[in-house]
Structure formats: C-alpha cells, structure tokens
Amino acid sequence: MAEKFNFFVMPKKVKTPPKQTKSSPKANAPRAQKEEYGAKQITVLEGLEAVRRRPGMYIGSTGPEGLHHLVWEVVDNSIDEAMAGHCTEIQVRLLPGNRVSVSDNGRGIPVEIHKQTKKSALETVLTILHAGGKFGEGGYKVSGGLHGVGVSVVNALSKNLRAEVKRDGKLWAQEYAKGKPLGKAKPIGTARGTGTTIIFDPDPEIFTTTEFDLQTILTHLRQQAYLTKGVKIFIFDERKAEKGKKSSQPTYAFYFEDGVASYVGFLNHHKEVKQENVFYVQKDSAGIGVEVAVQYTADFKETVFAFCNNIFNPEGGSHLVGFRTALTRVLNNYARAKGYLKEKDENLTGEDVREGLTAVVSVKVKDPQFEGQTKAKLGNPEVRPAVDTIFSEALTTFLEEHPRDAEGIIEKSILASRARNAARIARETILRKGVLEGLTLPGKLSDCAEREPEKTELYIVEGDSAGGSAKQGRDRDFQAILPLRGKILNVERARLDKMLANNEIKSLIIAMGTNIGEQFDITGLRYGKIIIMTDADVDGAHIRTLLLTLFYRYFPELITTGHIYVAQPPLYKIQSGKDARYVYSDEEKDKTIAEMQKSKGKIVENKKIKKPEGVEGEISEETAEGEETTTVAGIGIQRYKGLGEMNPEQLWETTMDPANRMMKQITVPDAAAADETFSVLMGDEVEPRKRFIQTHAKTVKNLDI
C-alpha cells in the first residue's frame, strides 16, 4: 500500500507586515490615558478554561500540527503503559465526522474516588492539569508525557469526549463536552480484561481545521512502535465507513521486535550500506535504560536521532554526547590495534567517524530534565556516562566479532578523514575570515543598506533576467538580491571540497556569512530571512529542490530556527476595471473570474477554449509579448510564465512587498521522512527514485511539462 512523503511541511502562507516608519499613523498615535490596574483587573480562569482561552500554550498551535498533537497526547498515555510493561496493543481509529478513538489493553485509568479532589480518578485526570500517574511514586518509572497536561488538554479542546475504562470486570464510561463532565463515571456493563478507550472530536471553534492526515499519523505511530519494541499498533481509517460499523482489518499495523535496530534498517532501506549487520545494544545502567542501533552507509552526511522516553530531542543532549564520545574513542582504539592507523597518523576526528553514520540513540530516564519547553535537548548529566559505558563495551565486542563490518566502517572513516583534509584546504583558500566579514562579498550580490540581520532579507533569484527585475523592484534599505546562474550542484552526491569549488554555492555561503561544516556559526548570519524565489515551472521547482537539499544537508539550523522561506509569485493577474487581483493557482483564477464576472462569457487561452464554472458567451482576445493576456467580457487575464516577464513594479507589488506578498516558511517536523525523501530523490540510486515517481505521479497538481 503506497504512502506519500511530506518531507516539508509548509504552514499557511505568511503575510509579512510592512516596516513601521516614523511617519506612519501608528507611530504618531496619541498615548492612551493611564488605566487603573488593581485586583479587579486580575482574571482567574477556572478548570480547563485557561486551555480553551490560550490553546497555543499547551499544544503549540490551532492549525494542523496542534490538531494532531491531540492524538499524540492520548497515544502517549498508552505508550507509557507499554513502557511500563502493562500494554501490548494500541488501536487508533479515524472515525467519520473527524472523530478519533484510541484504545489500549493497559491497566485502565483508575475509577475510584480520589481523596484530594473528591472526584473519580478518571474525572480528575481528564479535568485537572498536572494530574496523573507520572508524578510521585508508583505510577510510572519512565514516561513521555511528563507535564501531566495531556489528556486533560485533549478534553478541554474537544467538542465531545467519551472515556471508557475496563477494570475489575466492569466497563465504566463518562462523557464530556468542551472539558466539562456531563455526568459521573459509572459502570455500564461487564468487561473482560483491562484497558482504556478515549474517543474525541476536536472543537471546530478552536481549530482552523479538524481534518486529520493519515500519513502524519502513520509517521508518528511508526516511530513510536520502533521506540517501544514489542507493542502492536493498529491504525484503522474508518472515515468513509458506514456509521457505527467497525473495520475488522486494520488499514496499517506496526510491530517491531528488534526495536531501534529495525528503525535504522528502515532509515537505510534506500541507501548503499557499508556494514552488513546492524549494531544493536539494549541494557540498563544505574536505572537508565539505553538502546542504541548503528549502521554505516555510503552517504557523506550523518543521520542520528536521539530520544528520551520516546520524545525526539532534535538538539541532542547528554545521551548524544555520551554516544559520540564513545564512538570516536572505540573506532580510534580499534583502528590502531588492527594497524589501520599507523603511529604517524593522526587520530580520526568525530566528524570523520560520523560520515555515513545512521544511528538511533534511545534512553529511558525516570526524571528527565529537558532544556526548554520543546524538550529539544536532554540535560541529565548522569545519562552521558551510562550511554558511554554501555555503548563502548558493546561496540568493542561487535567490532571483534564482525571483522568485515569493522573493516568497512574504519575504511569509510579513514576516507572521510582524507576528504576532510582536502576540504579544509579548499575552505581555507575560499572562505577566508575577511571574506565572511563582508570585505569581499560576491560581485553579483546586490546588498542592502540595513546591517541588523533581523531586519534584512536575502532573495536567491533564478537567472539574470529575474535578478535584474528583483534588483530594480526591491526596497534597497533591507532587501538584498543574489542571482544564481543555472542549477547549483546536487550536494547529496558531493563532499564539501567539491561543493566549495562550485561558484554558485561559494557565492551563497559567502553572502550568508555563516561559513560551513565545522566552522558553521549561525551568529554570523547576515540576513534574517533567506528567500528562495524561482519560476513556477519544472526548472524552477528543480532549482528550489537543489537549494533546499543544500540547506537541509549543510545548514539545517537555518531551517529549524525559521530563516528559510520560499517566495510565492502569482500565476495570473485578473483585472476588471480598477479591480486588479493576483492569484496563485488555476482554481483561484476560476473562482476570482466567477466573482468578478456578472455577465457570462467564455475564456480563450493558447487558442484553446476553457469554460470555468458559470462562464459562457462571447469573448475577445489580446496577446501581449512574453505573456498570455485574455480579455473576457471586460475581465483581463494575464498569465505570468516567469519572474523575468514581470516588470520591477509588478515583481515588487506581487512577490516582494511585505504588505502584500505571500511566502511559505520551510520547516521539517519529521526529520526521518525528510532524510529518506532527499536520499530517494537526490541520491545515486535510480530505482528507488523511479518507484517514487511512478507511485506519486498521479497525485501531482499543476504539472508543467
């Protein structure tokens, strides 16, 4: 069954407000009179009202990411039961009406009266923040949802929620509306076994969309199954099923006995491997569970994912430091002991031994300390020696027992060391310190006057023609233009030394000011927004993909910190009298014409007749050089074929003016899917790319051939 890959999530189009000037009305507005500030101005929100008032504080956003976060919170409770050894099966059902059901065969949420709240434990967990078995002793040794707000937040943000619990031979149930109980928890029948079912439908008053994406759910649940070996996760998509009818066969099922070793195999299934046997170890040390899997490939970049209690830590932390320290030490010791490194040779560096590395490092910690609300980095100092000791001992044994695999790993690392030295020489030649300070910026760069990075923008433009229009149309105060000639090097297939010999990439690196590789420093970034602006055709899409590959592989921090954008030039200009609108798709064009046109007509484009809905009648046609222009009953339709065909005023008005433009910000919420997709589409292997194209060709919209 085919799966689609959404390796870039591009949130809703960003409309950037214009810069504030001294002469603007807002700047000259009179100061408001001093208002009274006393006890009566202090608002106290009862129960879950605070969650409904400020949902973004608890789930990040009210868009698609926040919507799916509801599912993750409920599933996390079931995963916690599985990590504690009490749950072996989880079922997630997508139901008609955008409802979701999550069931497990764990112990079931307790239903007896809680001494402190005087409510059932079930109602306490569902209505009170920071209530659950993850605080204090006796609930869970390790847990993912550590803030204890999970299921209560889901309850608060759901139009309706129903909880069913199987305990002590009885089936208990309780229903809620917008977080408020509609009655007490009570038994409604008998039941065999134990477990919990939560059925909820997100409140459309809270969320911008309530439609769940199956691929997003599959990606997350697959990862959880890898990280919790032995648990079975079944996904049922019943959104088109008859009301009340359940599917007996799951749409998807995940079960991995080998845990993160299976995860590494999945990450590498489109790559050429240098190590036949996947290294794997799982062991406890001083109450810390450590699970690590490693396999080397022919890639030039590393792919390492670090987790604590099944929570992804994109910035790593103490567990990743322990892993990397042990990896470098053990491989150097082995290389010297076996004669791969002579006495005169330098030791392999961390960068050398990580080239082509695919690894998953997962730890289970009773009281994890994360840096920041996003849990991006693990801070527990005791985790580092635990990972170091367990991994180094197991890897040493693995290398001795698998000499062919060891030989492939060491040879790969030594080759990386030689390439690193060549790249260092190239980098020192090309990227001198003075260059990065702006003394020798690329000649093709049209810089801006502003020097504060957070106020500046760099447009990477395709070709000299579009570059010329962009240079003339821009705001020179804060917008810089860097035109690129042709298609840049595909960095998926190139080492750093080859990249630095490419003039276009070299110019971009110097213009950005961050340097690259070991010398990368985001504090040197000269522009707050780096905007890719290419034509809306196949060549433009290819150039965007090449640039995104460059940023993802060599400047990932620019993506994770929100600096990379894609400009959205319009496809058409629709004008009726003084009413002129720019539209970005054929669907939007047809809708705009239907809105504008009161009398009915027929549209002519490229000598072909196209009938948008509700449009019939007589037409007249005009053609302007370099553009398609059609006049339909007083409505002018101008088709833009490329950025170079827009005059500077049009390019500014439609694509570069912060008051009007639309941009997409690049994010990578699922790094594993992104890594796989880049490997498939940009790597050396032809067959996986062919299969990908064959699988997804029919889903492509607006294909320009």
* pLDDT value, residue 522: 92
The residue among 501 and 168 whose pLDDT is bigger is: 168
Is CATH 1.10.1200.10 what the domain over 260-428 is classified as, yes or no?
no
Tell me, what's the pLDDT at 454? 93
Lowest mean pLDDT among 210-224, 230-244, 519-533: 230-244
Mean pLDDT of 454-465: 90
Structure tokens at 689: 């790319």
pLDDT band at 70 (very low <50, low <70, confident <90, very high): very high
Domain with CATH 3.30.230.10 in the chain: 260-428
CA angle 255, 260, 265 (to 5 degrees): 85
Query: 575 pairs with which residues across the strands?
Result: 580, 636
615: Cα separation from own chain's centroid: 41
List where CATH 3.30.565.10 sits in the chain.
Answer: 49-254
Q: Which of 113-122, 315-324, 546-555, 673-682 has the lowest mean pLDDT?
A: 673-682
Give me the sign of the Cα torsion angle 201, 203, 204, 207.
Answer: negative
Inform me whether the pLDDT recorded for 592 exceeds 80.
yes
Q: What are phi and psi of 453, to 5 degrees?
A: -55, -35
Residue from 161, 198, 197, 205 nearest 179 by CA? 161
C-alpha distances in angstroms, 170 versus 46, 72, 123? 32, 27, 17
CB 642 within 8 A of CB 654: no
What is d(CA 534, CA 531) in angstroms, rounded to the nearest whole number? 10
**Is 3 a residue whose pLDDT tops 50?**
no
Burial of 361: CB neighbours in 10 Å, binned 0-12, 13-18, 19+ = buried
Homologous superfamily of domain range 49-254? Histidine kinase-like ATPase, C-terminal domain (3.30.565.10)
Top pLDDT among 366 and 684 is at 366
Average pLDDT of the chain is 82
- Give the span between the Cα atoms of 127 and 465, in whole angstroms: 61
Mean pLDDT of 433-437: 41
Phi then psi dihedrals of residue 283, to 5 deg:
-160, 155
Q: What totals of helices (H) and strands (E) does the chain contain, helices first?
A: 21, 28
Per-residue pLDDT tens for 528-559?
999 999 887 778 888 888 899 899 888 989 99
Residue 211: other Cβ atoms inside 10 A: 11
In the chain, residues under CATH classification 3.40.50.670 are 433-569+664-699
pLDDT tens profile 339-358: 999 989 999 999 999 999 99
Tell whether the model's pLDDT for residue 29 goes beyond 60. no
**Angle 254-259-261 (CA atoms, 0-180°, nearest 5)?**
115
Instruction: Please report the pLDDT score of residue 685 as a whole number.
Output: 62
Half-sphere exposure for 483 (CA within 13 Å, toward CB): 17
Burial class (CB in 10 A: 0-12, 13-18, 19+), 629: middle
Q: What's domain 433-569+664-699's architecture?
A: 3-Layer(aba) Sandwich (3.40)
Q: For residue range 399-432, what is the model confidence (pLDDT) as tens digits?
A: 999 999 999 999 999 999 988 887 777 666 654 4
DSSP string, 305-338: EEEETTEE-TT-BHHHHHHHHHHHHHHHHHHHHT
- Catalytic center residues: 462, 535, 537, 539
Question: How far apart, in whole angstroms, are the C-alpha atoms of residue 341 and residue 339?
Answer: 5
357 C-beta neighbours (distance < 10 Å), count: 23
Contact (Cβ atoms closer than 8 angstroms) between residue 484 and residue 462: yes
Fill in the amino acid letter for 83.
Answer: M
pLDDT at position 386 over 60: yes
Phi, psi at residue 308, to the nearest 5°?
Answer: -130, 120
* Separation between Cα atoms, residue 447 and residue 451, nearest integer Å: 10
Going by C-alpha positions, the residue among 318, 322, 299 that lies closest to residue 369 is 318
